[in-house]
Structure 1
Amino acid sequence: MTSIRTNLISEPHLTQFLFADTRLAPLWALIRIYVGYEWLVAGWGKVTNPGGVWVGEQAGVAVSGFLKGALTKTTGDHPDVQGWYAWFIQNVALPNASVFSYMVAYGEILIGLALILGLFTGLAAFFGGVLNANFLLAGAVSSNPVLFILATWLVLGWRVAGYWGLVDSHRHEMS
């Protein structure tokens, strides 16, 4: 029988303080709730849109418009949208705009609720970051860089970011 020797690498004191010290739980809760609120409001606006361009009879109209706008940003010396992402837009996202429309609208709501409630904080922040990255890759700046940075921090600090939340099983494991 072969045994595998494992070595644990100690965590630097600064990162341990920032990402694992429960004294920072109030700060992380504020960041988590702020990011969650932003996602919830964005998703709710899409789901309740009276024109039904996100969910409903005309689902996909808004996504198609957004994606077609992104494709106009693929030219020049420094395009806002890279060629490989333009391929993804043309061949995957646009043909399935209706599906992506529902995924974005309800995904934003689910991410927002999970972050506000402190439910699966790291996972919710990760998927929020994935959405932000996709919006950025499509050339939409707006609040996406800030939310992407905050989502990344929440992923790093998930233990403390979700400390005051619904899922608290990790509380007993921390020392």
Structure 2
Amino acid sequence: MANEKFITIPENPVSRFLFSSTKAALIWLIVRLYVGYSWLKAGWGKITADAWTGENAGGALQGFINGALAKAEAGTDVGGWYAQFLETFVLPNAKIFAFMVAYGELLVGLGLILGLLTGLAAFFGGLMNVSFLFAGTLSTNPILFILATWLVLAWKNAGWYGLDRWALPFLGTPWSQGSGSNKNSSSVNT
């Protein structure tokens, strides 16, 4: 075990360009703004709707969940395990989940538009997309999930034209050694 060799496989030029070069940041800015606007618009619509965050909070989510449960009962689009999760955990807590969805969508949109913690915002956006897909809703979820996945992979340079340019070197990464101002924590090629 002590004499074990580690093999390093070099990264291909296309992925190095897309995911590590600031020259690709303009591509990611366009993707970020599109996905961020989609989330911001959806979140704002929910925050300003009484059925999501007002006196009747949770009503819209209950309707959505009941629709998903009907699909599961008919044997279409929704898996039994996910229907069970929706029925036993989400539905009894619909008011809390409605707030989480509404404000989560808004925060994901703001994070992507501002380019602040882009990889994290894209991850949570993708998580919501997958949740909606599991509940049997297509809409824009497949394309937003794909774009969110790419933004997660491009976390180092996707926020270059945004606040990440300054935030990431200051904050560092959880896997880096030393203080948050470690400049080597998120290497980006210019």
Q: 1:106-129: per-residue Cα shift (whole Å, max 9, x none)?
A: 000000000000000000000000
| Aligned equivalent of 1:48 | 48
RMSD across aligned positions (CA) = 1.9
Contact 2:19 2:157 in 1 (8 A): yes
5+ residue gaps in structure 1?
A: none
Whether 2:134 is the aligned partner of 1:120: answer: no
Residue in 2 that maps onto 1:108: 105
User: After the TM superposition, which residues 1-175 of structure 1 pair with which residues of structure 2 at under 5 Å, given as runs?
Assistant: 8-49=8-49, 52-75=50-73, 79-169=76-166, 173-175=187-189
Q: TM-score, normalised by structure 1?
A: 0.90
**Partner secondary structure for residue 53 of structure 1:** helix
Letter in 1 for 2:66: K
Structure 2 residue identity aligned to 1:53: A
Cα distance change, pair 123–5 in 1 and its aligned pair in 2 (3 A): farther
TM-score normalised by length of structure 2: 0.84
Q: Percent of counterpart pairs with the same letter?
A: 53
Equivalent-residue separation in structure 1 for 2:146 and 2:70 (angstroms): 26
Distance of 2:69 and 2:123 partners within structure 1: 26
Structure 1 pair 12–63 and aligned structure 2 pair: CA distance change class (3 A): same
State the 1:14 CA deviation.
1.7
Moved runs in structure 1, 4+ residues, more than 6 A?
A: 2-5
Q: Report deviation, 1:3.
A: 10
Distance in 1 separating the partners of 2:130 and 2:188: 31
Closer, same or farther: CA 65–5 of 1 in aligned 2, 3 Å: same
Q: Which amino acid aligns with 2:62?
A: S
- How far off is 1:158 after superposition? 1.4
CA distance in 1, matches of 2:145, 2:188: 27
Provide the rounded CA distance (Å) in 2 between the counterparts of 1:92 and 1:148. Answer: 24
What is the aligned length? 171
What amino acid maps onto 1:131 in structure 2? M
